[in-house]
Amino acid sequence: MSEKISMQMVKELRDTTGVGMTKCKEALVMADGDMQTAIDILRKQGMTSALKKEGRETKEGFIGVAEDAHGIALVELNAETDFVAKNEKFQEFLSALAAQALRDKPSSVDAFVKAPFIKDAAVTVDQKRNLVIQNFGENIQIGLVENITKKPNATYGIYLHMGGKIVTIVEIIGSSDVKELAKDVAMHIAAESPDYLVPEEVPHELKSKEEEIARAQIQGKKPENIIEKIVEGKLKAFYDQVCLLSQKFVKDSNVTVRETVDNWGKKIQKPLQITRFWRRKIG
C-alpha cells in the first residue's frame, strides 16, 4: 500500500461509502490520498449510489423472525417498493439479519448495524445494507430489532400475516406444549389488533377520556340513578374491544380469549395464562 494510503484511510472510506476495501484502496490511490476526491471517483464509477438513496421513503418491507429454544428475534427491513421487498435476495438478507439478531441480542438498531455481518465478517451490517442498496437501486433501512427471552414452562405462538407485513407473538405460561392454542391466539391478535392484555393495563388518561365520552352521550337523556350503570357498561364494551383477554375469540365468538385459554387448561388439566403478547406492523 502506498505510504500516503493507510489502512485507516481505506476503512474510513469504506465506512463512508459502504464500498468494498479493494475498490476504496484503488480510489484513494487514484486520488493521491484525498478523501473527497476518492469519493468523487467512486461516485463516477457508480459505486456510491447508495448514498443518494438514503433519504427516500421506505414504506414497504417485511418483518423477519428467528427462533430457538431460548428466544425469539424480530427484525424489520424496509424498502421503497413491494417488488424489491419480495425479491429473493432481499428475503435472504432479512433472514440473515434475523438470525444475527437472535444470536447477538443487540441492545439497539445502532449497535446492531455496527456489528460484523453474520454472513461476511469483513463488512458490518450497515456496510452490507449499503451493498444491498447498490444492488437494488432502492433505499433499504432496518426499522426494528427486538429480542424476546423465552420463559420456562411456556409456549410461544408466532404468526406472520401476509408473509411478515404483520407479525404477532403470544406467550402462554403453564405448559410448553399448547402450540395449537398459541398459534390460534397469535392469529387472533393479528386479526383483532388488541392494544392491552387486561383492563388494568389501560392508561388512566384513556379510561378517563372514555368515561367522559360515555357520560356526554347520555347526560340529560337518562335518569340520574342509572347513569353510573350505563357508563360502567360502556366502559366494559370499550375494554372488550381493546383488551386481548376480553375480546371475543375469532374462531368462536361465543367465548372470550380468556375463556378459550381457561377451557384449554381444563382439558389438559394445567392452569394456563396469557402473560404477554406482541403485535408488530411494517412502518
* Residue 1 pLDDT class (50, 70, 90 cuts): very low
Mean of pLDDT over the chain: 91
Q: Which CATH superfamily is domain 7-48 in?
A: Ubiquitin-associated (UBA) domain (1.10.8.10)
Looking at residue 215, its pLDDT comes to 84
User: Which pLDDT tens digit goes with each residue over 212-245?
Assistant: 988 888 877 778 778 888 989 999 999 999 999 9
The pLDDT-based confidence of 281 (bands split at 50, 70, 90) is very high
Alpha-carbon radius of gyration of the chain: 26
Q: Return the pLDDT at 222.
A: 75
The span from the CA of 83 to the CA of 267, in Å, is 46
Question: Which tens digits make up the pLDDT trace of 207-218?
Answer: 999 999 888 888
Phi and psi angles of residue 151, each rounded to the nearest 5 degrees, phi first: -100, 155
72 pLDDT band, cuts 50/70/90, is very high
Q: How do residues 124-146 score in pLDDT, each as one tens digit? A: 999 899 889 888 888 899 999 99
pLDDT class of 163 with cuts at 50, 70, 90? very high
CATH annotation of 54-150: 3.30.479.20
pLDDT at 46: 61
Domain ranges across the chain: 7-48, 54-150
38, pLDDT greater than 90? no
Question: Which residue would you say has higher pLDDT here, 37 or 73?
Answer: 73
Whether the per-residue pLDDT at 12 is higher than 60: the answer is yes
The larger pLDDT score, comparing residue 200 to residue 2, is at: 200
pLDDT at 64 over 50: yes
The CA-based dihedral angle spanning residues 138, 81, 277, 159, taken in that order and rounded to the nearest 10 degrees:
-120
Q: How confident is the model at residue 53 (pLDDT cuts 50, 70, 90)?
A: low
3-state SS record for the chain: CCCCCCHHHHHHHHHHHCCCHHHHHHHHHHCCCCHHHHHHHHHHCCCCCCHHHCCCCCCEEEEEEEECCCEEEEEEEEECCHHHHCCHHHHHHHHHHHHHHHHHCCCCHHHHHHCEECCEEEEEHHHHHHHHHHHHCCCCEEEEEEEEECCCCEEEEEEEECCCCEEEEEEEECCCCCHHHHHHHHHHHHHHCCCECCHHHCCHHHHHHHHHHHHHHHCCCCCHHHHHHHHHHHHHHHHHHHEHHHCEECCEEEEEHHHHHHHHHHHHCCCCEEEEEEEEECC
Give residue 195's pLDDT: 97
